[in-house]
Amino acid sequence: MTGTPLPGGSERFQRTLTTPKIVFIVIAAAAPLAAMVFTVPLAFAIGTGPGVPAMFIFAGLTLLCFSAGYAAIARRISHMGGFYTHIAHGLGRRAAAGAGMLAVLSYNAATVGVLGAFAYFAQHVAADHGLNLPWQVWAGAGLLLVALLGYQEADLSARLLSVCMVCEITILVALDIAILVRHGGAALPSASFAPDNVFAPGLGVAVMFGFASFLGFESAALYGEEAKAPHRSVPRATVIAVLIVAAFYALTSWVAVGALGPGQVRAQASNHLGDLFFRLSDSYLGHSATLAMQILLCTSLFASWLALHNASNRYMYALSRDGLMPAGLSATPTGRSSVHRASVTQTVFSTVTVALFAAAGLDPYVNMSTSMLGLGTLGIILLQALASTAVIGYFRNRREGRWQTLVAPALGALGLITAAVLVVSNFDVLTGTTNPAVTALPWLLLVVVGLGVAYASWLRSARPDQYARLGGGSVPAQPLTVPVKEPSGSLSQTAP
């Protein structure tokens, strides 16, 4: 069944996504197994060591504050533009245009970053089992499968992502239980929350890795037009995803500290950065479980890749529909409701990027993955901070609960701005290189934001009708709300 026609000749998307399906999509984007296997050992080694679990709790609480404000605005505005649309209604169309371009760059960069990690680890895991293929082959196979799935409606991806997510979380929960059974209460050492460990040297690096591990959870905002009950399911899915991911990360890193010993965790992580959790799995679950964990690591990265690919598609589609990107990107197939042209565009971008890195003889992980993920992570954190600020702007003249509309989003924005400063300050640590071409990448984010704001400013004077469409101004939300242009350039909504 097709939906109601939208301006520009496109059709409304089929509303097939429920709260659980959206939860699966957003948690899969965070890649829990990959975060534990690679991010946590780094945080142990060069962060706060045994104090890392507290950093996951801090990041989770900050993002819960963000989610409280997001839930308040998402109940009123449902649109595929996600944060771009919310920023339009809270901070104005010009800010939204800059944020939209920031989102397109950040999600495309993050997608390529995860692609590189998938190709690298798929190559090494396959080689360990006797299948020696270059990383470019794995990248090509992954690109083909992601392209096929991205061409379809989001419901199919949600089903696949749910299987991947359940499997990767199951293996880590089994490891947590095995450690708890063997060590009892000692597996949860109080030292992880002792002030001298929480605020130890490396605090900034630990906080940075804590926020980076949540990358992708915010993508629930992009599925408003594909959810059955968007004003309930999207905010619920966001809050549920944050709670699950934060609790899971904190518990798994905490029992890892207990298994290694608070006094030994930093040294053990430094000596075994790439295989710390595989060694724990060998010790507590057996070698067969470790083999399964290695394979699930690849599926975890693939699931994250697919989820970020879908997020990139939806931002490009929404900006195309509003006139900020080529109009052809918002075309949908006859009788279908997928973002197929945006999906193809994202696949082409990824393919070209991979080809350039391969032609230059660069490493898919050390060079491509770390630099692109670093850029994408910083951009998405900045986007979240803008979205929190937009909540305050949207509700400034509305009588609503002050916690959800002022206090929580202000705390969320403060925490996210702190995280952004830490990422910029430690960008060489996050990317693993001091190459000036890489450490200068954060400036690219400011450039695209400036271009988006400048273009919207030009549209305001030269093409006011097109300017009025920015932020989904011409696309009614469910339930119907009517956007009204204000002198300041922001959007307000009134009930029908």
Helix (H, G, I), strand (E, B) or coil at 133: coil
- Is 110 inside a domain boundary? yes
AA letter at 406: L
Per-residue pLDDT of 224-262, as tens digits, reads 666 677 677 778 888 888 898 999 999 999 999 999 999
Structural domain of 309? 16-459
CATH number at residue 197: 1.20.1740.10
- Looking at per-residue pLDDT, the higher value among 470 and 13 belongs to 470
- Is 471 inside a domain boundary? no
Cα 66 to Cα 335: distance, rounded to the nearest angstrom: 37
Instruction: Name beta bridge partners: 491.
Output: 485
Average pLDDT, the chain: 84
Count of structural domains, the chain: 1
**What does the pLDDT average to over 87-96?**
93
Cα 105 to Cα 111: distance, rounded to the nearest angstrom: 10
What confidence category does residue 496 fall into, taking pLDDT thresholds of 50, 70 and 90?
Answer: very low
- Is 289 inside a domain boundary? yes
Tell whether the model's pLDDT for residue 323 goes beyond 60.
yes
- Is 480 inside a domain boundary? no
What confidence category does residue 174 fall into, taking pLDDT thresholds of 50, 70 and 90?
Answer: very high
pLDDT given for residue 40 in this prediction:
92
Q: In 10 A of CB 202, how many CB atoms?
A: 22
What confidence category does residue 10 fall into, taking pLDDT thresholds of 50, 70 and 90?
Answer: very low
- Is 325 inside a domain boundary? yes
- Is 3 inside a domain boundary? no
What confidence category does residue 333 fall into, taking pLDDT thresholds of 50, 70 and 90?
Answer: low
pTM: 0.84
Nearest to 119 by CA among 427, 424, 366, 375: 366
pLDDT given for residue 216 in this prediction:
73
pLDDT given for residue 113 in this prediction:
92
Cα 352 to Cα 349: distance, rounded to the nearest angstrom: 5
- Is 344 inside a domain boundary? yes
- Is 402 inside a domain boundary? yes
Cα 475 to Cα 483: distance, rounded to the nearest angstrom: 9
Helix (H, G, I), strand (E, B) or coil at 321: helix
pLDDT given for residue 205 in this prediction:
85
